[in-house]
Amino acid sequence: MSEILATNRPLPAKPASGHASGDKRFKILEVHIKKLQFKQDALIEVLHKAQELFGYLEDDVLLFVSHHLKLPPSRVYGVATFYHFFTLKPQGEHTCVVCMGTACYVKGADKVVAAIEKFAKIKSGETTANNKLSLLTARCIGACGIAPAVTYDGQVAAKQSPEDALAKVKSWMEA
Amino acid sequence: MQIEDLNAIAEKHIGSRKKIIVRTCMSAGCMSSRADAIKKNLETAVKEQGLDAEVEVRRVGCMGFCGQGPLVGIDGVKEKEILFEHIKPEDANAIIASLKGVESNLEIGDPDHPFFAKQTKIVRANGGIIDPEKIEDYIAIGGYEALHNALTEMQPAQVVEEVTKSGLRGRGGAGFPTGLKWGTVAKSPGAKKYIICNGDEGDPGAFMDRSVLESDPHLVLEGMAIAAYAVGADQGFLYVRAEYPLAISRLQIAIKQAKALGLLGAGIFETPFNFNVDIRIGAGAFVCGEETALMMSVEGKRGTPRPRPPFPAESGLFGCPTLINNVESFANITAIIKKGGDWYASIGTEKSKGTKVFALTGKINNTGLIEVPMGIPLRQIVEEMGGGAPDGRKIKSVQTGGPSGGCIPAEFLDTPVDFESLAKLGSIMGSGGMVVMDDTTNMVEIAKFYMEFCKDESCGKCIPCRAGTAQMENLLNKIIARQATQRDLAKLEELCDMVKNTSLCGLGQTAPNPVLSTLKYFRNEYEELLQPDKFGPAATATK
């Protein structure tokens, strides 16, 4: 139903190509959408690409996706907020993702999180005021054999103690 | 592509092999300990020591013994493989020098260790042996032969029958007979049918599917293609978690290679059979492991489940009949087609056939992936293969099935591991996570950990799950804070019962399991935290 409504409704005039701001990343996103043949069921793939390009999904990006896939903005927003992987807030310069899967948890991942929270004075899911560090927790990154695992800027590190994690985070904060 | 071409590729590839093969584990676990640098250094060392002509350094998938990683295995020197453990990039020269007989003080593992010796490998047979990014490696060990046999020598109904005969049950957790599911989809009317491979391995503490996808992507693709032939589908979707970037990239490579050789696409093996596979990347929602939610997600929508019937076999993806199986289920198919359903059925127990891959983790000496025949006693897994708890601690319980499963206390360690026996103990087989807990683990905290997980992951569509998990978590927090009474515990049990019986999908229906099983076996740990009830019978009696 929503698709029918969306396709019949006159769409707001969109720029012929790219985005009004002239930001090149929109152009790249558009090419990607074209490659996926403007398929509406590729929404999640498109959002993945958008987040990869922009780092997070701001309103403008969501609207751009909505126009190009001819989907109502509510549907795009709904999907973007449903899945944990998508973030609508900008991330800090560095991200530290502590795996909180069961194996990591029983081996003390909660202590790693607590140590970083105490040091950086943020809660999991937040970014420090100086925008240097975002602390996140993951459900399970599937690296249970090397628990507890922590991902620093996309690099998985094995068997992390609270001290290891603090050393890494401190080096970022002081840089 | 015809069978002769396939054999030619295999022969050419085998012919080009060198005498000694140095296998470097390049799976996510070992990669985190710089396995890529190890491989690079090994290659340089081979060149520098002038062994180019006889030594080949090969990238391989997961070898299984993740806790001892990074691992390097060497074939062709001794009768058995030599396994180096805990390797660092700077050890590369010493490893290569050891091929010439130079002694080193590197840590060498025992290939006869019970961790390896007690395994029966079907799904993981090629893991740690072949290069997952080279289709030739897979073809050289007989890959895609099963697909050829199915397409040219068997009718679709015969394929379904073979799978039914094998007694294979879904490896995603519920254990639904795979043959029956295939038969239903095959019989469903409809010109368009779909195959979905569920690689949304969401259970925390489980990484079997990741390892299979990273180590042997073609095995899953071939299994999917055979399934598609059996049920009459021409389009497949592989749904993989975004948390597994390495698996996604290896699958993309595998699909590209298979297409280039005509093993996927139109007219496979010059038969009228067409099959394409697209990858769908998840975005971090545990509920998407549930089949109806997964289909919503493949359609690019919010992953919320819907009531069944209609079952996906009748009306699934885009309203068409859809076959959904787990990664491990598909990975079993080639072996069943090659060796026959009867062979497969000879492994395991009466009702649970074949093998199962488990991710053995937690407070245990040997962590990693194991593939064991169904029916093996739990004690053999944790004590002999796993080597017991570290630091001389005692094993308290084994958690199976993740947030949908339960904790099996140490006194039941002699239970055979099969679908029925685990269910009898109030746990489930689940997808294969096995987290060992020692006597320092607080079971109420574990129950709370899982409840918090389910609360966060509840999609919010049905109220028992959405509100019930939140209330149960509150009660567990109250108990842990030593502010709860017997009344709260009774309330918790009542809520468990309600959420279990009235939730829409598997997530809610199984969310109370960790609480129920810990209450069943470790009730004293809850009761120790309770406070006397001011208004209850105990309080009035003292007046």
- The number of residues making up chain B comes to 543
Q: How far apart are CA B92 and CA B84, in angstroms?
A: 11
Environment class of B412 (CB within 10 Å of its CB; exposed 0-12, middle 13-18, buried 19+): middle
Q: Give the 3-state secondary structure of residue B334.
A: helix
Cβ contact B302–A82 (<8 Å): yes
Count of CB contacts below 8 A, A vs B? 143
Q: How far apart are CA B199 and CA B197, in angstroms?
A: 6
- Which parts of chain A register pLDDT below 70? 1-17
Does pLDDT of B449 surpass 70? Answer: yes
Q: Per residue in B36-94, pLDDT tens?
A: 999 999 999 999 999 999 999 999 999 999 889 899 999 999 888 999 999 999 999 99
pLDDT band at B13 (very low <50, low <70, confident <90, very high): very high
Gap from B81 CA to chain A (nearest CA, Å) = 22
Q: What is the percent of chain B where pLDDT is above 90?
A: 91
Name every chain A residue with its beta carbon within 8 A of the beta carbon of B27: none
Q: Is A122 on the interface with B (CB under 8 A)?
A: no
Query: Tokens 């992987």 appear where?
Result: A85
Gap from B414 CA to chain A (nearest CA, Å) = 23
Cβ contact B201–A84 (<8 Å): no
Q: Is A61 on the interface with B (CB under 8 A)?
A: no
Name every chain A residue with its beta carbon within 8 A of the beta carbon of B33: 146, 158
Does pLDDT of B519 surpass 60? Answer: yes
B437 vs A47, A84, A106: nearest CB: A106
pLDDT band at B541 (very low <50, low <70, confident <90, very high): very low
pLDDT of A4 reads 47
Q: Is B358 on the interface with A (CB under 8 A)?
A: no
Q: Per residue in B174-216, pLDDT tens?
A: 899 999 999 999 999 999 999 999 999 988 889 999 999 999 9
Does pLDDT of B258 surpass 70? Answer: yes
Environment class of B408 (CB within 10 Å of its CB; exposed 0-12, middle 13-18, buried 19+): buried
- The number of residues making up chain A comes to 175
pLDDT band at B453 (very low <50, low <70, confident <90, very high): very high
Q: What is the pTM of this model?
A: 0.93
Q: How far apart are CA B173 and CA A71, in angstroms?
A: 35
Please name the CATH architecture into which domain B143-345 falls.
3-Layer(aba) Sandwich (3.40)
Environment class of B260 (CB within 10 Å of its CB; exposed 0-12, middle 13-18, buried 19+): exposed
Q: Are the CB atoms for B75 and B20 separated by under 8 Å?
A: yes
> What kind of fold does domain B355-438 have according to CATH?
Ubiquitin-like (UB roll) (3.10.20)
Q: How far apart are CA B167 and CA A116, in angstroms?
A: 49
Cβ contact B204–A103 (<8 Å): yes
Q: How far apart are CA B52 and CA B18, in angstroms?
A: 9
Least confident of B10-14, B292-296, B429-433, B515-519: B429-433
Averaged pLDDT of chain B: 94
**Could you check whether B143-345 and B452-527 share the same CATH topology?**
no
What number does CATH give the domain B452-527? 1.20.1440.230
Tell me the average pLDDT across B498-521.
96
Cβ contact A142–B206 (<8 Å): yes
| Helix residue ranges, H only, B189-325 | 208-215, 217-231, 245-260, 291-298
Cβ contact A79–B300 (<8 Å): yes
Cβ contact B303–A105 (<8 Å): no
Q: Per residue in B414-425, pLDDT tens?
A: 999 999 999 999
pLDDT of B83 reads 94
pLDDT of A8 reads 54
- Sorted by where each begins, the domain ranges of chain A are 2-82, 94-174
* Residues paired with residue A155 on neighbouring β-strands, in sequence order: A152
Nearest chain A residue to B460 by CA distance is A82
Q: Give the 3-state secondary structure of residue A113.
A: helix
Strand order in the sheet with A150-152: A133-138, A94-99, A150-152, A155-157
Going by the DSSP 8-state scheme, the letter that residue B195 receives in this structure is E
Which class is domain A94-174?
alpha beta
- Sorted by where each begins, the domain ranges of chain B are 17-110, 143-345, 355-438, 452-527
pLDDT band at B543 (very low <50, low <70, confident <90, very high): very low
Q: Per residue in B128-168, pLDDT tens?
A: 999 999 999 999 999 999 999 999 999 999 999 999 999 99
Interior angle at CA B76, CA B128 and CA B60, nearest 5 = 20
Q: Per residue in B80-104, pLDDT tens?
A: 899 999 999 999 999 999 998 888 8
> What kind of fold does domain B17-110 have according to CATH?
Glutaredoxin (3.40.30)
pLDDT band at B9 (very low <50, low <70, confident <90, very high): very high
Q: DSSP E strands: which ranges in B311-458? A: 322-326, 355-362, 368-373, 395-400, 406-409, 433-438
Number of Cβ within a 10 Å radius of residue A15: 13
